Amino acid sequence: MDQVTLSDARNFVGRRVRSLSRPTYAALDLGTNNCRLLVARPAQGGFRVIDAFSRIVRLGEGVGRTGRLSEEAVERTLTALKVCAKKMRRRGVWHSRTVATEACRRAGNFEEFRTRVHAETGLELEVITSREEARLAVTGCAPLLDAGRDHALVFDIGGGSTELMWLAVDETRIELVDTVSLPFGVVTLAEQYGGDRVSLATYDGVVSTILAGLETFETRHRIRTRILEQRVQMLGSSGTVTTLAGVFQNLPRYDRASVDGSFLDFPEVRRVSRGLLAMDYASRAAHPCIGRDRADLVVVGCAILEAICREWPVGRLRIADRGVREGILHELMADTGFSGDRSGIAFGPRR
């Protein structure tokens, strides 16, 4: 029998007390294309990530055509969710939130899927509205916003939709003025146009379609006027923009530390986007910052991005490899008595 000394027992109790004083949190974001998990503990000024997981599952594959989650997509997603649940149990997660976005908002069989997820993984899946998705993304990206420009245009190019957020920013608070969800995402567009073989004419057609979808938001807020006054900053949070940043930096493999918070000037966005359009599928799949899972999605994502840049010529884009998951973690920690550091974010009207 193993011998346990008094010193061993005291050390165990000490570690347990320290662990209990720093509870563990988890945020799981199940999108149309990705299943992503962060596990973290509170730390000075925010949180420290202790575990993470990301897998492309394409849950929304075919939803635009059938209105239902396919059995193949459900099986892929359940496999990923089981990995997430195992990590959460192993890390002793106390507080968590598991959210689902556009694919699940559209799917007629979502309730069946949610029941199966709970039965097979124990996870409680929550469908959030597009506005809640936008709010969480802003909360997660807030540390990258510059208080020196009093308005910000933030966007997230997702698998099934594209979220746009118009913000008022100052040194003490960020106000979410308005948000819009466009029914265009990289998975749905790739299915419609064939992401592995996008021609220049098709690409330009996607850009024109997105531009038409942006007109109402521009009319409502006159964003171009503030851009001319140099009062607007732009921030993008999505696999499209992080991939472009990795390609632009010529990284030998994707590196979050190099990409998150970096900048791309608009001429660089166009040059890299058109370069990817000119490549064939095999070349994109072989690129270390793209890979086979994104090779058929990245070009239509570039078309969405190019439309946003044309509509609102801010001139420079900041890249965020963060978003909904980080927003969830900040809020969970704040709501349970830890700082969470929401960076002065507010969502009511200005006083």
d(CA 134, CA 163): 6
The pLDDT, as a whole number, for residue 118 is 97
At 341, list the tokens.
Answer: 């550091």
Backbone angles phi, psi at 341, to 5 degrees: 45, 75
Residue 351 confidence (pLDDT): 27
Strands 316-319 and 232-236: parallel
pLDDT at 21: 61
The pLDDT of residue 342 is: 46
Are the C-beta atoms of 237 and 322 separated by less than 8 Å?
A: yes
Strand ranges (E), 44-161: 46-56, 95-100, 125-127, 151-157
With vertex at residue 321, the alpha carbon angle to CA 218 and CA 21, rounded to the nearest 5 degrees, is 120
Provide the token pair at 60. 């929304």
pLDDT of residue 182: 93
- Rounded Cα distance between 95 and 97, Å, is 7
pLDDT (0 to 100) of residue 347: 46
231/216 Cα distance (integer angstroms): 20
Which H or E run contains 9?
helix 6-21
Residue spans of the chain under pLDDT 70: 1-21, 339-351
- Whole-number pLDDT of residue 339: 62
Q: Which domains does the chain have, with CATH numbers?
A: 23-128+325-346 (3.30.420.40), 146-320 (3.30.420.150)
Across the chain, how many H-helices and E-strands are there?
15, 12
